[in-house]
């Protein structure tokens, strides 16, 4: 039934907006995903008691793992942030404008939700509840791969940085760029925090890990497996990015950083929203919720962890001259002549 509804929706979109789809096929993807975002928002509102009777059958018989605290919060994120992004990107296609930055942020957010949610379903306590509706996730895995390639292949927005501005900015050391220095310090501390939490979920026997998991984030022990998968994704994917981003802030000409900063800002934003919300939600068993006396520390650390990549992405877009490829100068031509 879900497949039939999505198929009919696609046909309706194709019939009503053939020009937009011909200009950019992702218009149809964003329109269909916007519809599924509304469905996810209804699921979240129903599970929290704000709506009744809309999606009972689907959550009970189709995808019962959406009734977990983590499932509720990824539905909230999809029904709000992703929904706004879909409308904005579809509107940009309709007006024939660029949407590359929005697309990169959406791509990171969407892939992170899939990387955690699908393995968590298979490895956690709901692994015995896998139903045929689970295979609806297959297009959710394939479509973002195709969409991501199209978004990355779009041309970047032109910058107003002259070669002189680029050379002057790239001559500055890290100590003359206090914002970049603060970001490097943040990335270093966030990297240690990422590694520490990864070791915690891997049952590291040290006293610090034992104290942290019992007194600050007991949710990491929840048998639903989502928090454990989340920490491992952080350790194996986000931690290397933090190291590479710190390198790119110190040494000029790393033109890849602005794009990937947007991708990881979306990924970490989605992940932290779901993780923080699920840690305190009533559907999480009381023994795994954040203790009252540790709430301020937990909330502050995780909020800073979520805001840092967004500040990095903003810095890259705000003053991109340091990350542009250095223009050839007189010294380069002199070297070539010899």
- Chain segment 166-206, per-residue pLDDT in tens: 888 888 899 999 999 999 999 999 999 999 999 999 999 99
pLDDT tens digit string along 16-75?
777 778 788 899 889 889 988 998 999 899 888 887 777 777 777 667 788 889 999 999
**2 confidence band (pLDDT: 50, 70, 90):** low
| d(C-alpha 337, C-alpha 333), whole Å | 6
CB atoms within 10 A of CB 236: 11
| d(C-alpha 234, C-alpha 265), whole Å | 13
183, 249 contact by CB (below 8 A): yes
For residues 302-329, give the mean pLDDT.
89
CB atoms within 10 A of CB 240: 12
287, 224 contact by CB (below 8 A): no
SS3 label, residue 130: coil
- Identify the residue whose tokens are 């996810």: 40
- Identify the residue whose tokens are 């002199």: 334
Residues in the chain: 338
For residues 304-325, give the mean pLDDT.
93
List helix spans (H) across 132-256.
137-153, 163-171, 178-201, 207-215, 226-233, 239-250
* Lowest mean pLDDT, pick from 62-66, 251-255, 314-318: 62-66
pLDDT tens digit string along 103-138?
999 999 999 999 999 898 888 777 777 777 667 777
pLDDT recorded at residue 331: 42
pLDDT recorded at residue 338: 42
133, 58 contact by CB (below 8 A): yes
Half-sphere exposure of 72 (CA within 13 A, CB side): 19
Is residue 336 scored above 70 in pLDDT?
no
pLDDT recorded at residue 328: 64
């Amino acid at each position: 039934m879900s497949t039939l509804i999505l198929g009919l929706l696609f046909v309706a979109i194709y019939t009503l907006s053939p020009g937009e789809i011909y200009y950019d096929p992702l218009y149809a993807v964003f329109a269909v995903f916007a519809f599924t975002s509304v469905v996810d928002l209804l699921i979240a509102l129903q599970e929290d008691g704000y709506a009744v009777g809309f999606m009972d059958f689907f959550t009970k018989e189709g995808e019962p793992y959406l009734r977990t605290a983590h499932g509720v919060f990824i539905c909230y994120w999809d029904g709000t942030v992703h929904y706004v992004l879909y409308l904005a990107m579809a509107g940009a296609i309709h007006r024939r404008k660029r949407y590359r930055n929005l697309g990169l942020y959406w791509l990171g957010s969407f892939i992170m939700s899939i990387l955690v949610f699908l393995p968590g379903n298979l490895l956690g306590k709901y692994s015995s509840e896998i139903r045929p509706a689970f295979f609806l996730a297959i297009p959710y895995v394939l479509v973002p791969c195709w969409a991501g390639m199209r978004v990355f292949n779009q041309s970047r927005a032109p910058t107003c940085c002259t070669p002189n501005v680029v050379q002057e900015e790239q001559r500055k050391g890290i100590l003359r760029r206090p914002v970049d220095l603060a970001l490097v310090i943040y990335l270093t501390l966030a990297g240690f925090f990422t590694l520490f939490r990864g070791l915690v979920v891997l049952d590291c026997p040290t006293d610090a890990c034992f104290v942290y998991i019992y007194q600050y984030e007991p949710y990491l022990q929840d048998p639903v497996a989502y928090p454990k998968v989340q920490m491992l994704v952080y350790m194996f994917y986000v931690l290397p990015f933090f190291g590479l981003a710190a390198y790119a802030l110190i040494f000029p000409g790393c033109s890849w950083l602005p794009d990937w900063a947007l991708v990881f800002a979306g990924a970490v934003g989605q992940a932290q929203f779901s993780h923080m919300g699920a840690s305190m939600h009533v559907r999480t068993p009381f023994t795994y919720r954040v203790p009252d006396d540790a709430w301020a520390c937990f909330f502050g650390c995780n909020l800073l962890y979520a805001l840092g990549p967004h500040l990095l992405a903003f810095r890259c877009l705000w003053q991109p001259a340091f990350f542009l490829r250095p223009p050839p100068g007189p010294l380069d031509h002199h070297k070539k002549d010899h």
